[in-house]
Structure 1
Amino acid sequence: MVFSVLKTNRFRNYFIADIISGFGVGMSTIGANWYLMDRTGSMTAVGLMLSLNVVAGFLISAFAGTFVDKWNRKTILLWANVVRAAALLLIAGAFLGTGFHVEYLYAFAAINGMGWALYMSASRSLVQELLPEKELIHGNSLIEISLQVGMFMAGGVSGFLYKYIGFEAILLLNAAAFLVSSLFLSRISYAAMPVEQAEASFFESFKAGIQYLAGRPSLFVLGIVSIIPLVTTMVFNVVLPGYVSTSVRGDSVVFGLSDMCYGIGGLLSGFLAAPLARKLTQHGTILIIFLVSVLNLAAIAFNSTVILLYIGCVLIGLTNSSLRILITTTLMESVSKAYMGRATSVWMGISLLLQTVSATGLGVVIDRYSPGLGFILMAGLMFAGLVVYYVLNSKSPWKQTIEA
């Protein structure tokens, strides 16, 4: 059962902390996207803001994984939350004191990107320490549930909060969410993994991480496939505001509810992905989900009704999140715990690089043509993932022996 891993107090506290953190991040990210479009009317500006987000994440990902593998992962998460909360309070104060300035949103995007890149490396590596291998698929299912519960609650309320109390209040609530999340993280009690090569320099540890993946090309490529749903989600965030505004003639409430529907789909994946993989095969399940995603995204591109948008968003959340659960579990089963932070950081860095290249250009394309084109591009991206995954599994097994 998925919820069996919550019997242990340490993972239960992590689960609650992850929900609260995800709620805060989702609420402010959704609010920032709509706030910028509302004030500037430019999808190019939204694309630029998201580009800054991913550039900042890419820059920190170069050393975040090595940092995560050399220090206590729980402590890293605690301090990351506190620092992000303080930064958001400063930005909210700047908005309240001087009014709207696009530079403040760009600063928010940079902080958000750095915090997310570090959080992904540290939190997923911590999960490897908290759970035995046989429980990883249930743990990853619950992680996706926690993320999407936080995100769909954020999607459901962000439109209303923005409309009635403003973006500044959303930033304050996000800061509070980080602090509350830290309280639950502080209650996690576990025996931290001894750090391998503790005396090695930062550069030597970084180099060892690169060599680890270089010696396992199939595992490296599987990691590349695992980031495709993340990149697709970023494209979705760029496309959705303009799509809601022009294709279905919606407002901030429709925008927030659309994002909430994505979260509902992600929530469902936490309950459906693992049972489906057991009933079929994990390999077959991943191929089917990729195919459903391609067909759904292509259909949304030509849609003009709000109801079908909501249904499509549920399916996007379901397919993207299910792929993350199944492929991330495979990676956790295959990558040595001592190298998980660095491996995750490499894949996140590549993901962020792809997002950086596409975000601003996509905003320009949408402004010039149609938001529906963005969904066509998303369908193409998922189709590429389908082909690469199929070829990878046809040629050679991906799973590598975990080093002691």
Structure 2
Amino acid sequence: MVFSVLKPHKFRFYFIADIVSGFGVGMSTIGANWYLMEQTGSIASVGFMLSLNVIAGFLISAFAGPLIDKWNRRTIILWANGIRAITLLLIAGAFLWTGFRIEYLYAFAVINGMGWTVYMSASRSLVQEILPEKDLIHGNSLIEISLQVGMFVAGALSGLLFKYVGFEVILLLNALAFIISSLFLSRIRHTPIPVDNEGEPFFETFKNGIRYLAERPYIFLLGIVSIIPLVSTMVYNVVLPGYVSTAVKGDSVVFGLSDMFYGIGALLSGFIAAPLAKKLSQNGTILLVFLISVLTLAAVAFNTMILILYAGSVLIGLTNSSLRILITTTLMKSVSKTYMGRATSVWMAISLLLQTVSATGLGVVIDRYSPGWGFVCMSGLMLIGLVVYYVLNSREPQQKTLEA
């Protein structure tokens, strides 16, 4: 049972902290997009803010990994939460003092991008520390459930708060969320992994992390496969508005419902992925889910019916999130705890880079052809993931244990 993993106090505290933190980030991110659009009416400004978010996360990833593997992961998260809370309070105060200034939102995007990258690398490394290996898949399933529930609630509440009390209050609530999250994290009692490189120079720690992945091509490529669903999710968000408008002739209601059905599918993955992997095997389930994703995206690409879009959105959300749960669990079992922070930060940097390139390239493709081709590209991307994963596990099965 997936919820059995909540019995130990330390993961229960982590789980609550993760929900609260993710809810705060989701609420402020959605609010910032609405606020900037309302104040400027410029899609380019929103796009630039999102680019700053990605670029900031990409740049900090090179420094985050070595720090996470040299210091206590829980302490790093507490510091990151504290810095983000203070920064948000300062930005909210600046808005209240001077009124709208676009520079404040750009500063928010930079802090948000850096903070999210550090948090993701450190928190997933912390999960690897506090959960026994047999419970990792249930832990990752619960994390996916909390993410989707948090985004549902954050989206609804952010719109109401923005309308009635303003963006400044959303920033204050986000800062409060980080503080509450830190209170729960501070209650986690566990024995951190021994740090054997504490006195090692920073650059040497960074080089050792790169060397670790370079000497383990199976693990490195598996990490690349793990980020394909993340890139696919980003592509879905880029393609969906134009697809709804032109392919199925829908309106904003259809767009909102499509996004909601994606979230429902992602939520279901938290309950389905682990039992399915137990019944079929981990590798078999990953291959099956990849195949379902490829076929679903290809079908949606040439679809003109709203109901099929809804059904497709459920399956896209289900497959993307299931793959994240299953492959992340495999990585946590394969990667040495000493190197998990550095490995995760490398994969996150590659993911952010691919998301930036994909968003730009897809814009050109959609403008020249049609939004349906965006789903064709997504299907091709998932097919690449399927082929790479199949080759990895058919040619080098023994490396899954040798390279840990």
How far apart, CA to CA, are the structure 1 residues paired with 2:246 and 2:177? 33
Match of 1:18 in 2: 18
Could you say which residue in structure 2 is the equivalent of 1:133? Answer: 133
Of residues 163-172 and 72-81 in structure 1, the stretch that sits farther from structure 2 once superposed is: 163-172
Give the Cα–Cα distance (whole angstroms) in 1 for the partners of residues 46 and 280 of structure 2: 41
Q: Is the 2:286–2:323 Cα contact (8 Å) retained in structure 1? A: yes
**Superposed counterparts of 1:298-377, under 5 Å:** 298-301=298-301, 309-363=309-363, 366=366, 370-377=370-377
Deviation string 1:89-137 (CA, Å, 9 cap, x unpaired) is 3333444444444433332222221111101110011011101111111
Aligned to 2:87: 87
Deviation at 1:259, TM superposition (A): 4.1
Deviation string 1:39-74 (CA, Å, 9 cap, x unpaired) is 555555444332221111111101201100100111
Counterpart for residue 277 of structure 1? 277
Give the CA deviation at 1:9: 0.5
Judge which range, 129-138 or 164-173, deviates more: 164-173
Change (3 A) 1:41 1:396: farther
Greater RCO, CA 8 A, separation 6+ = 1
Q: For 1:233 and 1:110, how far apart are their aligned partners in 2?
A: 21
Which structure 2 residues correspond to residues 20-169 of structure 1 after superposition, within 5 A? 20-37=20-37, 43-169=43-169
Point out the more displaced range, 160-169 or 329-338: 160-169
Q: Where in structure 1 do 4 or more consecutive aligned residues deviate above 6 Å?
A: none
- What residue in structure 2 maps to residue 204 of structure 1? 204
Does structure 2 conserve the Cα–Cα contact (< 8 Å) formed by 1:297 and 1:312?
Answer: yes
Code of the aligned partner of 2:316: I
Distance in 1 (CA, whole Å) between partners of 2:238 and 2:167 is 18
Alignment correspondent of 2:394: 394
Q: Larger deviation: 16-25 or 65-74?
A: 16-25
Distance 2:371 2:98 in 1: 33
Deviation (angstroms), 1:281: 2.1
Q: Which runs of 5+ in 1 are unaligned?
A: none
> 8 Å contact 1:152–1:262 — kept in the other structure?
no
Alignment pair present for 1:179 and 2:179: yes
Distance 1:293 1:137, change over 3 A: same
Shift of 1:222: 0.6
Structure 1: distance between partners of 2:387 and 2:349: 22
Cα distance in 2 between the residues matched to 1:97 and 1:365: 43
The percentage of counterpart residues that share the same residue type is: 76
The aligned counterpart of 1:170 is: 170
AA of the residue aligned to 1:343: A
Q: Which amino acid aligns with 1:237?
A: N
Other-structure match for 2:286: 286
Task: Give the Cα separation in 2 of the matches to 1:365 and 1:96.
Answer: 42
Output the TM-score relative to the length of structure 2: 0.89
8 Å contact from structure 1 (residues 145, 267) kept in 2: yes
Query: Matched residue of 2:402: which SS?
Result: coil
Higher mean alpha-carbon deviation, 346-355 vs 290-299, is at: 290-299
Q: TM-score, normalised by structure 1?
A: 0.89
In angstroms, what is the RMSD of aligned CA positions? 2.7
Q: Which amino acid aligns with 1:227?
A: I
Q: Separation in 1 of the partners of 2:180 and 2:364? A: 38
